Amino acid sequence: MTVCVKRAFRYRFYPTSEQAAELARTFGCVRKVYNMALAARTEAWARGERVNYNATSAMLTAWKKAEELAYLSEVSSVPLQQCLRHLQGAFVAFWEKRAKYPRFKSRKRSRKSAEYTSSAFRFRDGRMYLAKMKDPLNIVWSRPRPLPEGAQPTTVTVSQDAAGRWFVSMLCEDPGVKPLPATDSAVGIDVGLKHLLTLSTGEKIANPRHERRDRGRLAKAQRELSRKAKGDGANRRKARLKVARIHARISDRRRDHLHKLTTRLVRENQTLVIEDLTVRNMVKNRNLARAISDAAWSEFRSMLEYKAAWYGREVIAVDRFFPSSRLCSACGTLQDKMPLSVRTWTCQSCGTTHDRDMNAAKNLRAAGLAVSVCGAGVRPQRRTPGGPSATKQKSLRREP
């Protein structure tokens, strides 16, 4: 049974002044309803009560009838209902211990977005009409075919980023995404800073360092912003927008590079083995935080995993304590210490000279294949194979 993959196709559009005003009102109402519902649920939680989506939906109906909240009826009701569903999903993630307690949305810092279901938009002949709007959105179609043949969007999300750019994201089923032909190729992937990736095949992929390339421009724009008077003045808004545009340029280049890289790796390999790194803890190192954030290891792993699921590939994450750098890939001898400054080392047992990153990638590949073939767990090795501890284990197994 073939299951169609749902994909979101995002395009930039340029709204008219009337459309921009309507969307700005919708964003504000979505934020207001979300915060009011979160406050109501938090107060109920303190009283030992639990409020679900149905209860907040009934609250929304009552809020619209209040005189001071009458403006909620001026925008489409669908985005308001959708934000309540998103809040319910946030609470479910909190109860399942997958996320922290939901936070209130900020007018300046939170993402501006509104989600429309099929009852609140119409898509015909390449034109998108949203509820409460007479004219279609002026969308720039960056693909020859905006959506897969015969596909119709189920939900449409309109958003505006910090740089002031408008985007429309259409979620639909893509029948073109199918598992690729199986291969015998497996690759170990070691992430780094000097080289973004080191593959067990011997290939090293350079780190583009997108943030470093624009660091001078970004620092200058941030200095200009810091000199503006605090508040909502026009000059401060312009300076903040300039900083946001530089950040957007950096993130766009980084995302484009990672998309191309992960797509290539998934197409070429059946099994991809990576290390299960805790990036949130690693960025606490003030000397490396900026470089690690620029490398975007978490985003790389996320892309690799969902694309592997699309195309029938397998991603294996090896335990973060597995000594991939200190373990000799030729004979299995474990070195006692391996500072980060050591980039090349020679095994004392077999005399093989290793490139640190290349050796780690080979060890990751071997460990991942062990998991794939026999289901063995990948645990940190703290003794040299054949050493005293191994001999002791063999003698214990011989005892009745």
Last residue of a domain, one of 174, 195, 226: 174
Does residue 186 sit in helix, strand or coil?
strand
Is residue 147 located within the same domain as residue 205? Answer: no
* 381 domain-assigned: no
Does residue 220 sit in helix, strand or coil?
helix
Convert the pLDDT of each residue in 262-287 to its tens digit.
999 999 999 999 999 888 889 988 88
Last residue of a domain, one of 148, 174, 200: 174
Is residue 326 located within the same domain as residue 209? Answer: yes
Is residue 121 located within the same domain as residue 261? Answer: no
- The whole-angstrom separation of Cα 60 and Cα 88 is 14
Active-site annotation holds for 252: no
- The whole-angstrom separation of Cα 230 and Cα 187 is 52
* 243 domain-assigned: yes
Q: Whose CA is closest to 270, among 374, 185, 177, 361?
A: 185
* 394 domain-assigned: no
- The pLDDT assigned to 120 comes to 95
Look at the alpha carbons of 64, 69, 71, 72 in this order and tell me if their dihedral is positive or negative: negative
CB 171 within 8 A of CB 155: yes
Question: Could you list the residue range(s) of the whole structural domain that residue 298 is in?
Answer: 186-374
pTM for the predicted model, two decimal places: 0.84
Active-site annotation holds for 357: yes
CB 267 within 8 A of CB 242: no
Convert the pLDDT of each residue in 132-180 to its tens digit.
999 999 999 998 888 988 889 999 999 999 999 999 999 999 888 889 9
- CB atoms closer than 10 angstroms to residue 355: 15
Q: What is the 3-state secondary structure (H, E, C) of 195-232?
A: EEEEECCCCEEECCCHHHHCHHHHHHHHHHHHCCCCCC
Share of the chain above pLDDT 70, in %: 92
- The pLDDT assigned to 3 comes to 65
Flag the least confident range among 73-77, 142-146, 328-332, 373-377.
373-377
Is residue 14 located within the same domain as residue 41? Answer: yes
Convert the pLDDT of each residue in 344-389 to its tens digit.
888 888 888 888 889 889 999 988 888 766 654 444 444 444 443 3
C-alpha 364: how far from chain center: 23
- The pLDDT assigned to 232 comes to 81
Is residue 247 located within the same domain as residue 343? Answer: yes
Name the catalytic one among 22, 115, 173, 190.
190
Name the catalytic one among 115, 173, 275, 294.
275
Tokens 């050796």, residue? 359
Convert the pLDDT of each residue in 300-320 to its tens digit.
999 999 999 999 999 999 888
Q: What residues form DSSP beta bridges with 11?
A: 168
Is residue 154 located within the same domain as residue 198? Answer: no
Is residue 103 located within the same domain as residue 123? Answer: yes
* 384 domain-assigned: no
What total of structural domains would you count in the chain? 2
- The pLDDT assigned to 382 comes to 43
Please check the confidence at residue 87 and state whether its pLDDT lies above 90: yes
